[in-house]
Amino acid sequence: GLCQILTGVMEEVRRSIRLDVRGGDVLHSLLSASWLQALLRVYERLQAFLRDAPAPVLTNATGVLLQLTDVRASESCSEDAEELCRLLGQPHLQALLSAHDAVAQRDYGPVLPPMPEELPEDEEATRTVCLVKNNQPLGATIKRHELSGEIFIARVIHGGLADRSGLLHAGDRIIEVNGFSVGGMEPEQVIQVVQARALGSIMFKVVPITERPVHRHMTLYVRAMVNYSPQQDPTIPCADAGVGFGKGDILEIVDQSDALWWQARKLPGHAGCAGLGPVLQRSSGSCGWSQPYLPHTCIRPTLSLSPEDDLVAMEDRCVEADEEAFESDELREGEKPSDQPHLRLIRAGFRRSLRLCRRRFYSTSQLAGHAPCPSSCRAPSVPYEEVVRYQRQPQDPHRLVALLGPSGVGVNELRKRLIRSDPGLFQGAVPHTTRPPKGYEEPGRDYHFTSREMFDAMVSQSRFLEYGEYKGNLYGTSVQAVRDVLSSGKICVLDIEPNAIQAVRTPELKAFIVYVKPPPLERLRESRRGAAVATGYYVNRPFRDEDFQEMEAAAQKMESQYWQFFNHVLVNDQLQDARVQLLAAVNQAQDEPQWVPSSWIRPDGQ
Ligand SMILES: Nc1ncnc2c1ncn2[C@@H]1O[C@H](COP(=O)(O)OP(=O)(O)OP(=O)(O)O)[C@@H](O)[C@H]1O
């Protein structure tokens, strides 16, 4: 009947408001709060349950079981009794009975201490908070005021015990812990008092902060572009309360109220307590985002607080230091092109010369007489990239699929196999070249043949995703060539070099980047036994051990610099398996929700 009483009280209060009784509106808003209503409903349900609660027949089933073993010991024990004893002797049944007894004896909840009888006179100003610790951190940090020496709650960690209680807030002044006055205590001493009880209840007496800051509870999702380890960060207020993450991880930022430290959860699957993550500053270098750890030296303690030993976390052991990849199928000269249309299709777009020049371009610096490739090192130096969930609609163009990996790993092989699996759906982009067409080549199908002047103009207009020079000829993949495939309703599949990553990550192309990773050395030796590595335009030879080692080294370098941009990592061990996995990933990219940069979806920053 509590809800009914509350309705009656609310009516009274409403009358008080009409009569302009002081405090009436505050009381009304309190009583009409949805959380209070919900709590009362829960309370009433629990009361109803207590009334109808089933009573255990016995509270000591485990004891009865022991008596049964005595029965077994007697000689007159029947076969049935034997079987019963055997069944009851099984560990899972014993565990079940033990659990039964614990419930029957109501031995499952901590016994709360009685409320203190003597309440201070300024009772209104203090609040007694009792938190029950079940081997989990309290999820709050404390700090000491430099001048007054008073102990304050510095931060309440989202989703932690203190936060879920709703009773402790950043800024609350702590007066007592478990009956011990914290006046004059060093922060470490306060921690010792908290740690004295690993389990059970901990009682805090606090003076609540009078004006709680209004938090913008706007959840933000970001992709980490750097690695971060709280344990290696000397500036984190509390390492144990930190959230560690690696490049490419998706983080859910649940609290941005602190200018220097976000509270974040790593996705997927970390539904519990959030952790502290640094609001890292942009690094100064143009490609600085690839660094493993950015020390955020901008972090300084706040003025009114002592800088070092005065901040203590109520997390266990936590002291807050304070507020902070051609055409290997390409026809040799004089060879005739295939009459089979599907083979022609496959050949279109597999241009070894382009791959080789790209490799050269990537490994050397820049094309003589040309501006640097527009895509080269244009990565924004941001530690985080805001992301949103994107689901491609059936009427939308497909996402570009870009494959990359260390030379020889099988990027081109996988790309060919993917296109061959469904030429009606997958297609490569037709590259541009300044070299003269060969007899069998058809402009617009094999290459867009163009003059050097035209090519240069396209370069200066940033119309290439990537380009390079091979044996005196220029080769490049234009944005328009990709657009042509996408607008025909097909999925464009490209192999790119890392320096083209930024050029394909655009709102228009929405590239899904698949990194093709070499398997461990042993597996490389085994799986590449019959395979040949391309060392020049027409030069193939069997793989050697040095090739594998080079591949591994190149892979490591690529991973350390670009891991954050990989949407899918595919280990190319067994070719057939890898192709199947690639197909599955590509389908997922087109048909299932994916995290993409928010700027792709909301270019205006809204
Ligand atoms: N999983 C695999 N098992 C066996 N052989 C493979 C596998 N993947 C690729 N190969 C073979 O390895 C060789 C190199 O592959 P591919 O040409 O695709 O490499 P790439 O990554 O495109 O490198 P590059 O651009 O330097 O040629 C080819 O002969 C290919 O058939």
> Residue with structure tokens 């990027």?
411
Q: What's the confidence (pLDDT) of residue 583?
A: 96
Distance 588 CA to ligand 1 centre (A): 24
Does residue 412 have its Cβ closer than 6 Å to ligand 1? Answer: yes
Q: What's the confidence (pLDDT) of residue 254?
A: 86
Amino acid at 395: Q
Residue of 412, 418, 466 to test ligand 1 pocket, by largest number of atoms within 8 Å of CB: 412
Q: Which residue's CA lies nearest to atom 23 of ligand 1?
A: 408
Treating both helix axes as pointing N-terminal to C-terminal, what angle do 24-31 and 2-18 enclose, rounded to 10 degrees?
150
Cβ burial of 533 (10 Å; 0-12, 13-18, 19+) is middle
Q: Are 2 and 43 in contact (CB under 8 A)?
A: yes
Question: What are the contacts of 35-41 at 24+ separation with CB within 8 A?
Answer: 36/6, 37/3, 37/6, 40/2, 40/3, 40/6, 41/3
Above 90 in pLDDT, residue 494? yes
**Cα–Cα distance for residue pair 381/41, rounded to 1 Å:** 52
Distance 412 CA to ligand 1 centre (A): 7
What number is the average pLDDT over the span 136-152?
A: 85
Q: What's the confidence (pLDDT) of residue 404?
A: 95
Q: Are 207 and 273 in contact (CB under 8 A)?
A: no
Q: What's the confidence (pLDDT) of residue 577?
A: 96
Q: What's the confidence (pLDDT) of residue 298?
A: 27
Q: Which atom of ligand 1 is nearest to the CA of 413?
A: 18
Does residue 532 have its Cβ closer than 6 Å to ligand 1? Answer: yes
- Please, what CATH class does the domain formed by 389-425+490-600 belong to? alpha beta
- Please, what CATH class does the domain formed by 220-290 belong to? mainly beta
User: H-helix or E-strand containing 103?
Assistant: helix 91-104
Does residue 575 have its Cβ closer than 6 Å to ligand 1? Answer: yes
What number is the average pLDDT over the span 69-76?
A: 68
pLDDT-derived band at 29, boundaries 50, 70, 90: confident
Q: What's the confidence (pLDDT) of residue 344?
A: 33
| Other Cβ atoms closer than 10 A to 385 | 21
Q: Which residues pair with 250 in a beta bridge?
A: 223, 267
Q: Give per-residue pLDDT as tens, 388-404.
A: 999 999 899 999 999 99
Q: Which atom of ligand 1 is nearest to the CA of 415?
A: 18
Q: What's the confidence (pLDDT) of residue 216?
A: 57
pLDDT-derived band at 294, boundaries 50, 70, 90: very low
Q: Which residue's CA lies nearest to atom 4 of ligand 1?
A: 528
Q: Which residue's CA lies nearest to atom 27 of ligand 1?
A: 408
Above 80 in pLDDT, residue 168? yes
Residue 536 tokens read as 């020049």
What number is the average pLDDT over the span 218-240?
A: 86
**Cα–Cα distance for residue pair 403/511, rounded to 1 Å:** 10
Closest CA to 496 of 365, 328, 359: 359
Does residue 534 have its Cβ closer than 6 Å to ligand 1? Answer: yes
Q: Which residue's CA lies nearest to atom 1 of ligand 1?
A: 575
Distance 375 CA to ligand 1 centre (A): 25
What number is the average pLDDT over the span 552-561?
A: 95
Q: What's the confidence (pLDDT) of residue 538?
A: 61
Q: Which atom of ligand 1 is nearest to the CA of 516?
A: 21
> Residue with structure tokens 């349900």?
45
Fold of 429-483: Guanylate Kinase phosphate binding domain (3.30.63)
Which of the following CATH numbers is that of domain 127-207: 2.30.42.10, 3.40.190.10, 3.40.50.720, 3.30.300.30? 2.30.42.10
Mean pLDDT rounded to a whole number for the chain: 78
pLDDT-derived band at 305, boundaries 50, 70, 90: very low
**Structural domain spans, the chain:** 2-48, 127-207, 220-290, 389-425+490-600, 429-483
Give the whole-number percent of the chain exceeding pLDDT 70.
Answer: 76
Amino acid at 448: H
**Cα–Cα distance for residue pair 28/11, rounded to 1 Å:** 9
Distance 41 CA to ligand 1 centre (A): 65
Does residue 405 have its Cβ closer than 6 Å to ligand 1? Answer: yes
Above 70 in pLDDT, residue 258? yes
| Highest mean pLDDT out of 78-92, 173-187, 214-228, 563-577 | 563-577
Distance 364 CA to ligand 1 centre (A): 22
What number is the average pLDDT over the span 511-519?
A: 97
Distance 29 CA to ligand 1 centre (A): 69
Does residue 528 have its Cβ closer than 6 Å to ligand 1? Answer: yes
pLDDT-derived band at 477, boundaries 50, 70, 90: very high
| Highest mean pLDDT out of 89-98, 322-331, 581-590 | 581-590
Comparison of pLDDT for 191 and 293, the residue scoring more: 191
Does residue 527 have its Cβ closer than 6 Å to ligand 1? Answer: yes
Distance 160 CA to ligand 1 centre (A): 50
Q: What's the confidence (pLDDT) of residue 307?
A: 30
Q: Give per-residue pLDDT as tens, 361-371.
A: 443 334 444 44
Treating both helix axes as pointing N-terminal to C-terminal, what angle do 2-18 and 34-52 enclose, rounded to 10 degrees?
160
Q: What's the confidence (pLDDT) of residue 275?
A: 85
What number is the average pLDDT over the span 102-107?
A: 82
Residue 295 tokens read as 């020390």
Does residue 572 have its Cβ closer than 6 Å to ligand 1? Answer: yes
Does residue 355 have its Cβ closer than 6 Å to ligand 1? Answer: yes
Does residue 416 have its Cβ closer than 6 Å to ligand 1? Answer: no
